[in-house]
Amino acid sequence: MPVLTTSPPGTRIARVATPSVLASQDRTAALEHAIMRDPGSFRILTGDRPTGALHLGHYFGSLQNRARLQNAGVELLVLIADYQAITDRTAAAELPEIVIGLVADYLAVGIDPDRTTIFAHSQVEPLNQLLLPFLSLVSVAEISRNPTVKEEIAAAGASTVSGLMFTYPVHQAADILFCRANLVPVGQDQLPHIELTRTVARRFNEHYCPSAPYFPEPDGLLSSTPLLLGTDGQKMSKSRNNSVPLRATPDETKRLILRARTDSERRISYEPERRPDVSNLVLLTALCTDTTPEAVAAEISDGGATALKAAAIEAVNDRFAGLRARRAALAADPGYLRSVLAGGNQKAAAIAAETLSAVRELMHQRY
């Protein structure tokens, strides 16, 4: 059976295990040990595109993991990739609400703004300026081979792929390297971006500072949670309208789960390959109740899809009651959320300014 890992928010496609993914999984296990031994030696950069409300897939795939790493003592920076969102056909006027909503989601899941830097990359000018030297280190042919860019071109046609969309993997390298992060939690579909980031770091070092490498080559840290599907059996996605948002009310949760696809077999089992829709609800219930999918399936057994959906609804609503209450309280104070973001932007800008200054020095652009 292929090993599935969860994709981060808003990613475009889910992939099955390939040799490089398997190597990354081994590497991830080794990194997890290293993190627990010496959390202070890691700086993590992770982020989301602000294209809509975060959902349960994000929670189990990445948000929970971020809070865990933060609490283990790792320095964490959480990026809101609002320049990337404009490649996603998100209406610009919706951005402020979505961005502030993300901040509320982060705080509600336990991201602590005193320890973790939450920022939007459009607000951090020196970060964006790194894009120029980085673009000089990568060929057009290399970018064209990037799977995500290739998919965009295949889906939309070369004539509609903007220059920003084309170069977005390099922008992502700037997102990561501006703070010299050495660890990036990602879904496997993002691994090519990490590879490109490593290439940019390596080439910069080779070119401008071979005897004292300035940029680290960051590692991807794969999530171990299996992939949650949307209510239509497709990848759970903000834009497909098939997800249960974190902030959904109990009634909305009920409505969304009741319309989830199932199959006609009465007995509930956990067979992700053969019965993806039923297995997905079993998995969701298990994740919410901290048990195994097999235990959930055995418990419901002949109860069929009706009992399974009832269990899933109850599990989600119980698990997220506290988080939702915290989120609602936070959302009632948008001034506070904006101040958290402003503080994070400032911290990120100070780091980025230092990096840009070092980069200019190394590139002999001091006149």
Of the pair 7, 253, the CB lying nearest ligand TRP is at: 7
> Is there a contact between 119 and 77 (Cβ–Cβ < 8 Å)?
yes
Q: How far is the CB of 61 from ligand TRP (least distance, A)?
A: 11
| Locus of tokens 């964490």 | 76
Q: Among residue numbers 166 through 185, which ones bind ligand TRP (CB under 6 A)?
A: 172, 175-176, 184
Residue with the closest Cβ to ligand TRP? 81
245 touches ligand TRP by CB under 6 A:
no
Q: Least distance (Å) from ligand TRP to the CB of residue 248?
A: 21
Among 4, 5, 6, 11, binds ligand TRP (CB under 6 A): 11
When binding is defined by CB under 6 A, the residue of 4, 5, 6, 9 that contacts ligand TRP is 9
Closest to 31 measured CA to CA, from 215, 222, 225: 222
Q: Give the residue, chosen from 4, 21, 54, 81, that forms a contact with ligand TRP under the rule CB under 6 A.
A: 81
Closest residue by Cα to residue 188 from 1, 363, 15 = 15
Q: x/- string (CB under 6 A) for ligand TRP, residues 48-67?
A: xx------------------
Residue from the set 10, 133, 218, 293 that interacts with ligand TRP by CB under 6 A: 10
Closest distance to ligand TRP from the beta carbon of 198 (Å): 13
Backbone dihedral angles phi then psi of residue 302, each to the nearest 5 degrees: -80, 0
What minimum distance in Å lies between the beta carbon of 219 and ligand TRP? 12
Q: Which of 79, 200, 281, 288 binds ligand TRP (CB under 6 A)?
A: 79
Question: CB of residue 49 vs ligand TRP: minimum separation in angstroms?
Answer: 5
Query: Nearest 5 degrees, angle CA 124-CA 127-CA 128?
Result: 90
Least separation in angstroms between residue 271's CB and ligand TRP is 29
Closer CB to ligand TRP, 84 or 223, in the complex: 84
Closest to ligand TRP by CB, 6 vs 172, is: 172
Q: Which stretch binds ligand TRP (CB under 6 A): 19-27, 30-38, 79-87, 289-297?
A: 79-87
Cβ within 8 Å of residue 25, ≥6 positions away: 3, 5, 17, 222
Ranges within 83-122 binding ligand TRP (CB under 6 A): 84
Q: Pick one of 6, 8, 218, 244: the residue that binds ligand TRP (CB under 6 A).
A: 8
Piece in contact with ligand TRP (CB under 6 A), picked from 32-40, 46-54, 63-71, 139-147: 46-54
Cβ–Cβ under 8 Å, residues 354 and 322: no
Give the shortest CB-261-to-ligand TRP separation in angstroms: 25
Whichever of 189 and 280 has its CB closer to ligand TRP, that residue is 189
Query: Looking only at residues 184 through 203 of this chain, which bind ligand TRP when binding is defined by CB under 6 A?
Result: 184, 186
Tokens standing for residue 106: 């982060």
Binding residue (CB under 6 A) for ligand TRP from 4, 21, 31, 45: 45
CB of 10 to ligand TRP, least distance (A): 4
Residue 346 phi, psi (nearest 5) = -65, -45
CA torsion, points 175, 178, 163, 235, in degrees to nearest 10? -10
Which of 337, 316, 342, 324 has its CA nearest to residue 120? Answer: 342
Footprint of ligand TRP (CB under 6 A): 8-11, 45-49, 79, 81, 84, 172, 175-176, 184, 186
